A and B are shown apart, each in its own frame.
Chain A
């Protein structure tokens, strides 16, 4: 189990690094998909199979496809990659990198100072997850549902448009 965890963790870190450094947006997104898949794998190793599969279904399977969908429509080519390359100068990324490094150091210190065993947890089935969601965290679930409903109504409102009749002779019968 240890080896599986370390391999998956290494894949996650490398692919996430690649997401940041790739110039071609589609390649970067593909690395992000791999990163999400390996994260799901880590959830799986931690015994949260339900969360792992939801991660794949929702993030890797739906949201990332929509990202790629949009990028595909933008028709980005060589020029964008070159522009991206120009933007990724040392001067720009050095500041955030130092600060992220400090945080990483802190995280490593906190993890190494606590002696909790993170993996080798018992496998949690869907039933306890459902019971927790709809008993203890019911209000959270309902609030999230309301938020999503609001987003959906907003999207439907923005997407609605008047019917346009472009035909020469049928103009008089135009439906407003």
Chain B
């Protein structure tokens, strides 16, 4: 009974922390973007504009929750929940600190990839159910982009799996006691970061929504909290990819002992969240065909080569 209670408590704490973090990321992103673009950003509601999140949420709740009459109602309603559910499910295997994790699956890394691949449905179904040409175009782009970059995401992680000899995330973290995997797998790290940006469809890879050409892409027809769900899903996705980068390549909770492990994990994760925001502030969006060509003609060969070299070295040394 005690074990079950501990599980439930852990799940509730993680869920609450994540949704709150995702909500405050909206404020963080707008303030940081403003800082990097020489503006003030939201600074009126509350200290440093922190209450802008509350204002935004209230606004979203009171907006008319409109379902277009030409839409496929059931799928239209269900689509936004899929992305948030899939990303939240992925956090099941993220080890925040020793003892602070929900499940230590022996196929943890694969579980993350599986959940990431299910997130595509949100975009595809949302775009299709809206019955709108811009939405459909966004959905098509989203589907092909996410399917392609999923491949590289998996391939870029396999080098780490070879070196640590396990799919279990705790083992991967503990294998980095001497040196982080970012030093032994620099190519894998860069590829994973690129694939992660494409998977969360953030700028510069936000081609599925590309507001300058597709209105708002796959979520053109969404309003109110349904749109809010896509929004929160995106920020949860950023948090997830940052947490995964930290776990797999930057030693997870490991760090000098003057700070507790959990603090190290959170600090490292926030560095990557800020990197995501900086990328949005500084890079232009590529064209759709450029993105696909870049993926299949440049990233795929590099990922395979990285795998080959890592395999050969692992075979020689161990």
Q: Does A pair with B?
A: yes
Using CB atoms and an 8 Å cutoff, list the residues of chain A in contact with chain B.
Answer: 26-27, 30, 33, 49-50, 53-54, 56-57, 60-62, 65-66, 68-69, 72-73, 123, 125-126
Q: Does B282 contact A (CB under 8 A)?
A: no
Q: Is the CB of A50 within 8 A of B107?
A: yes
Q: Does B22 contact A (CB under 8 A)?
A: no
Cα of A30 to Cα of B72 in the assembled complex, Å = 13
User: Which A residues lie within 8 Å of B167 (CB)?
Assistant: 126
Q: Is the CB of A60 within 8 A of B124?
A: no
Q: Is the CB of A56 within 8 A of B75?
A: no
Would A72 and B150 be within 8 Å (CB), given that A33-B121, A57-B114 are in contact?
Answer: no
Q: Is the CB of A60 within 8 A of B117?
A: yes
Q: Which residues of B in the span 31-84 have a Cβ within 8 Å of any Cβ on A?
A: 72, 75
Q: Is the CB of B150 within 8 A of A61?
A: yes
Q: Does B136 contact A (CB under 8 A)?
A: yes
Q: Is the CB of B111 within 8 A of A68?
A: no
A66 touches which of B105, B116, B118, B147 (Cβ 8 Å): B147
Q: Does B17 contact A (CB under 8 A)?
A: no
Q: Which residues of B in the span 113-149 have a Cβ within 8 Å of any Cβ on A?
A: 113-114, 116-118, 120-121, 124-125, 127-128, 136, 139-140, 143-144, 146-147
**SS class, residues of chain B in contact with chain A:** helix
Cα of A125 to Cα of B154 in the assembled complex, Å = 18
User: Which B residues lie within 8 Å of A54 (CB)?
Assistant: 110
Q: Does B20 contact A (CB under 8 A)?
A: no
Q: How far is the CB of A153 from chain B (nearest CB, A)?
A: 15
The number of residues on chain B lying at the interface, defined by a beta carbon within 8 Å of a beta carbon of chain A, is 28
Q: Is the CB of B128 within 8 A of A26?
A: yes
B114 touches which of A26, A53, A66, A69 (Cβ 8 Å): A53
Q: Does B106 contact A (CB under 8 A)?
A: yes
Q: Is the CB of A53 within 8 A of B107?
A: yes
Would A125 and B106 be within 8 Å (CB), given that A26-B128, A61-B118, A65-B124 are in contact?
Answer: yes
Q: Which residue of A lies closest to B74 (CB)?
A: A27
Number of A-B contacts (CB under 8 A): 71
Q: How far is the CB of B78 from chain A (nearest CB, A)?
A: 9
User: Which B residues lie within 8 Å of A61 (CB)?
Assistant: 114, 116-118, 120, 150
A61-B150, A126-B107 given; 10 more Cβ-contact pairs under 8 Å: A30-B75, A53-B111, A53-B113, A57-B110, A60-B114, A60-B118, A65-B117, A72-B136, A72-B139, A125-B107
Q: Is the CB of A50 within 8 A of B128?
A: no
Q: Is the CB of A53 within 8 A of B110?
A: yes
Q: How far is the CB of B210 from chain A (nearest CB, A)?
A: 18
User: Which B residues lie within 8 Å of A60 (CB)?
Assistant: 114, 117-118
User: Which A residues lie within 8 Å of B124 (CB)?
Assistant: 65, 68-69, 72
Would A68 and B150 be within 8 Å (CB), given that A53-B111, A126-B167 are in contact?
Answer: no
User: Which B residues lie within 8 Å of A56 (CB)?
Assistant: 114, 117-118
Q: Is the CB of A57 within 8 A of B140?
A: no
User: Which A residues lie within 8 Å of B147 (CB)?
Assistant: 62, 65-66
User: Which A residues lie within 8 Å of B154 (CB)?
Assistant: 57
User: Which A residues lie within 8 Å of B127 (CB)?
Assistant: 72
Cα of A6 to Cα of B106 in the assembled complex, Å = 25
Q: How far is the CB of A157 from chain B (nearest CB, A)?
A: 16
Instruction: Give 14 pairs: A residue, B residue, CB < 8 Å, sorted on A.
Output: A26-B128, A33-B121, A49-B105, A56-B114, A57-B113, A61-B114, A62-B150, A68-B124, A68-B125, A69-B140, A69-B143, A72-B124, A72-B140, A73-B140
User: Which A residues lie within 8 Å of B139 (CB)?
Assistant: 72
User: Which A residues lie within 8 Å of B107 (CB)?
Assistant: 49-50, 53, 125-126
Q: Is the CB of A68 within 8 A of B143?
A: yes
User: Which B residues lie within 8 Å of A27 (CB)?
Assistant: 75
